[in-house]
Homo-oligomer: A and B are copies of this chain.
Amino acid sequence: MIGSVSPNVINRMPKYLRCLRAAQERGEKRISSAQIAAALGTTASQVRQDLTVFGSYGSQGYGYNIALLAGEIERILGIDAPHEIAVVGVGGIGRALLEHMDFKRYHYHVTAAFDVNPALVGTTVNGVPVYHMQDFARVIGENPVDICMLTVPKSAAMEVARQAYACHVPALWNFSDEDLKLSGLDMVVQNVNFLDSLFTLTYYLEDSKITMTPAANQ
């Protein structure tokens, strides 16, 4: 059953969850697959197909109980359980994410940060102590983490990934400019690449300039 669920389905689950939490904040109690689909810009069929991969959470004639379904999706994603995170690289992006993401709300606990800059070592960022990268194995050995967030330059990414693997960190959240493949290793990786996203946006921008001529306008 390894990798049995389509990545497309997995990628949509957080979007469903956000849609449900937003509806909940508006005070709503129930929602239909058609309503979810309208909010996400997809079809009711797809919403139901996606959910039935994991189980039956709705009722005919009623739809879905929002709180119940949201809880189920959190359980499916595994975000109902606590996770420990270590951050490697406390430069711009690492620091910004440390300071601005509401990790605690989703049971993520950032236990340690690492950098090679001596000026940062010994400080804390948003309550998280910054260690020197030299101490990575020791600190992680004493306090294992589930996820290592990589916010280091491209040149350092692969070496840090190797160290994380050696320390049995099972997951990498990689913000460096180089996609990490790690084929064969039993380590999961999520690559986040800002430039890729800017480039695809630019494609659609230029594409819209061409297709959105006054006559071709929809």
Contacts and interface: CB of A to CB of B under 8 A. Distances in A.
Interface stretch (A45-53, A61-69, A113-121, A186-194): A186-194
A36 to B, nearest CB: 13
A99 interface: yes
B170 A15 contact: no
B202 A77 contact: yes
Chain A, interface size category, equals 35 or more
A83 B99 CA distance: 30
Contact of A2 (B18, B76, B186, B211): B211
B101 A170 contact: no
Contacts of A99: 92
Nearest to A105: B195
Contacts of A55: none
Among A17, A97, A197, find the residue whose CB has the most chain B CB atoms closer than 10 A. Answer: A197
A63 to B, nearest CB: 21
Given A76-B203, A100-B91, A190 B197 contact: yes
Contacts of A83: 202, 205
Contact of A14 (B13, B108, B200, B211): B200
Copies of this chain, how many? 2
Among A186, A188, A192, A193, find the residue whose CB has the most chain B CB atoms closer than 10 A. Answer: A188
A121 B96 CA distance: 20
A53 to B, nearest CB: 12
Nearest to A210: B1
A52 to B, nearest CB: 17
Contact of A193 (B14, B193, B194, B208): B14
Given A15-B196, A173-B201, 4 more contacts: A13-B203, A78-B203, A101-B195, A108-B198
